[in-house]
Structure 1
Amino acid sequence: MAACACHPSYAWRMNDSVDPAAAAQQAARHPLFERLARLGYVANGILHATLGVLASVVATGGKAQADQSGAMRALSAQPFGVALLWICAIGALLLGLWSLAQLLLPGKKTRERLKLAGTGLVFLAAGFTFGRFGMGNPSDSEHTATSLSGELMKSLAGRAALVALGAVLLVMAGYYIYKGASRKFLDDLHRSSRREISWAVRYSGMIGYPAKGLVLGALGLLFIVATVQGDPEEAGGIDGALKAIRDQDHGSVALGAIAAGLISYALYLILRARYDRMD
């Protein structure tokens, strides 16, 4: 006999149906997802620490590719480097996915959603890049930047886009410097009850944020100058920006200070993995 729609077992099956939106929101709120996503900050810290070491090599006259590709290549050359790259890839992808998952939650302001979307896309891209190097399929970010700049410089719209990109990087640089100098980054964190940890978080952020800002500012200026001069070779990415700083008067000293600042920023990011508010 066919089951009646009013039969209790039928009603139970109807009520037991899963709402995909509710399930997605529940997953986005899951504390395990949040804890695993924190690994993305560790991955970012490892990347910046390696970049800081490479920048110090450049500052002292050594040869190194001080950019994302150079940092990942240096990591892959270390013992267990490939395993480390895969750990970083997983961490960055998890943080990217967690950030995008937060967009599903109600009550988020437009500014929060834009920030989450930007963070999600940046970390997803970083995760895929870590994965490419882990698979032994590296890319050269300096060559990519130069090639893309060369293509864009062939048209008026492309040149305008490069200048706009440089301006955005300068604005970001100002924001990073302000956030470090004003200690606004502390608003993103849960305060630690341990004095030595609080001291490390505070001062690593105060030193690290401006250093990151100076790198972004130099990169932004490089894009603008390269576009004005019509020379894509000048738009060499972060490596080109750091070497441009080195080539100025007292540039080696300045670049050495930036290298130390990047390592300080890496320490802050690793501490942030533990104390970030994630809300």
Structure 2
Amino acid sequence: MTPLDEAADAAEAASNTKALDLVARAGFAVMALLHVIIGAIAIALAFGHQGQAEPTGAIAQLAANPWGPAVMWAGMVGCAGLALWQLSEATLRARHLPAGRRLGKLVSSGFLAVAYGSVGLSFAGFAVGMGGDSGDSAKDLSTALVRGPLGVPALIGLGLTVFGIGIYFIVKGVRKQFKEELHHFEGTRRGRIISALGVAGHVAKGVALNLAGLLFVVAAATNDPGQSTGLDGSLKALRDHPFGPYLLAAIGAGFVSYGTFALLRSRFGRM
């Protein structure tokens, strides 16, 4: 065994702690709460109310309550722990997988580590009074890509990537691949409920990501970065279509289902 292998084994052992397990589970619970709030906002939008149906909008609602600062710091810690756990999954524990699965684990868990870390930074921003708007962030990112060396192809690539992640969520939901992340409750009422929530939630989240990805592609095709307004903008765009409000309400209900599933995942999931 090389010194590098020994160091990796030591780091993996250090990551297998009860403390990290608890903080990562708390992070899953935080993400679950955000999905429920986003779903509720999306349903409200379908009935003509105002709101920001994206993570920053959900965090802003949590920050507005009397315990806001404490909730912000707790959310940051939970998301940071979850990001660290996903990073260890992508690197330390992925070493033991076959070569074919190792790359897939590196990409999937690595992406999640970045995603959870960015949500943690959003919590930290609100905690210190520097909250932002993810829709504006999406526009800024689109503008930067269009003006960059690769220009329009880079923005199209980003849109197709987001669209692909949406397809992944839909397939994962339809095939019930999320069951691999849970302790098994086959044949029980709890198992059937968890399965139904998992299917509805993953499919709804996938559809929402598909819409967001398409807006990036539209922004590239029209050379108008302002078209890419993130999740919130993609959901609000549905209201202009004949059956849009019904689809928006269905997606909102799906997000609530996904949030409920994620909450159960925080309690019964495999770590």
Same fold by TM (over 0.5)?
yes
Deviations 1:189-244 (A, max 9, x none): 11147934322211110110010001100001111111111222211111110011
Matched residues in 1 for 2:226 and 2:140: separation? 8
Q: What's the CA shift for 1:81?
A: 2.9
Which range moves more in the overlay, 158-167 or 140-149? 140-149
DSSP 3-state at the match of 1:153: helix
Matched, 1:73 2:60: yes
Distance 1:80 1:231, change over 3 A: same
Distance 1:234 1:195, change over 3 A: same
Q: Is the 8 A contact 2:186 2:192 kept in 1?
A: no
Which residue number corresponds to residue 104 of structure 1? 92
Q: Where in structure 1 do 4 or more consecutive aligned residues deviate above 4 Å? A: 19-22
Q: Is the 8 A contact 2:47 2:245 kept in 1?
A: yes
DSSP 3-state at the match of 1:157: coil
Distance 1:150 1:113, change over 3 A: closer
Mapping for residues 82-93 of structure 1, pairs under 5 Å: 82-93=69-80
Matched residues in 2 for 1:212 and 1:258: separation? 7
Mapping for residues 6-45 of structure 1, pairs under 5 Å: 21-45=8-32
Q: What's the CA shift for 1:172?
A: 1.3
Aligned residue pairs, count: 260
Which residue number corresponds to residue 237 of structure 1? 230
Mapping for residues 200-215 of structure 1, pairs under 5 Å: 200-215=193-208
Q: 1:223 aligns with which of 206, 213, 216?
A: 216
Distance 1:70 1:46, change over 3 A: same
Identity %, equivalent residues: 33
AA aligned opposite 1:31: K
Deviations 1:123-162 (A, max 9, x none): 1221121111122210111112112222322357121111
DSSP 3-state at the match of 1:104: coil
Query: What stretches of structure 2 of length at least 5 have no aligned partner?
Result: 1-5
Which of 1 and 2 has greater Rg?
A: 1
Distance 1:252 1:38, change over 3 A: same
Q: Is the 8 A contact 1:88 1:127 kept in 2?
A: yes
Query: What stretches of structure 1 of length at least 5 have no aligned partner?
Result: 1-18
Which range moves more in the overlay, 65-74 or 104-113? 104-113
Q: Is the 8 A contact 1:218 1:245 kept in 2?
A: no
Deviations 1:166-185 (A, max 9, x none): 11111111111111112111
Distance 1:155 1:119, change over 3 A: closer
Which residue number corresponds to residue 10 of structure 1? none
Which range moves more in the overlay, 76-85 or 192-201? 192-201
Matched, 1:160 2:153: yes
AA aligned opposite 2:81: L
Matched, 1:141 2:134: yes
Distance 1:206 1:134, change over 3 A: same
AA aligned opposite 1:238: L
Matched residues in 2 for 1:191 and 1:168: separation? 32
Matched residues in 1 for 2:214 and 2:113: separation? 26
Distance 1:156 1:21, change over 3 A: closer
Q: Alpha carbon RMSD of aligned pairs, Å? A: 1.9
Mapping for residues 122-141 of structure 1, pairs under 5 Å: 122-141=115-134
AA aligned opposite 1:107: H
TM-score by length of 1: 0.87
Q: Is the 8 A contact 1:99 1:120 kept in 2?
A: yes
Q: What's the CA shift for 1:94?
A: 0.5
AA aligned opposite 1:35: L
Q: Is the 8 A contact 2:79 2:119 kept in 1?
A: yes
Q: What's the CA shift for 1:112?
A: 2.1
Q: Is the 8 A contact 1:43 1:88 kept in 2?
A: yes
AA aligned opposite 2:227: E
DSSP 3-state at the match of 2:52: coil
DSSP 3-state at the match of 1:49: helix
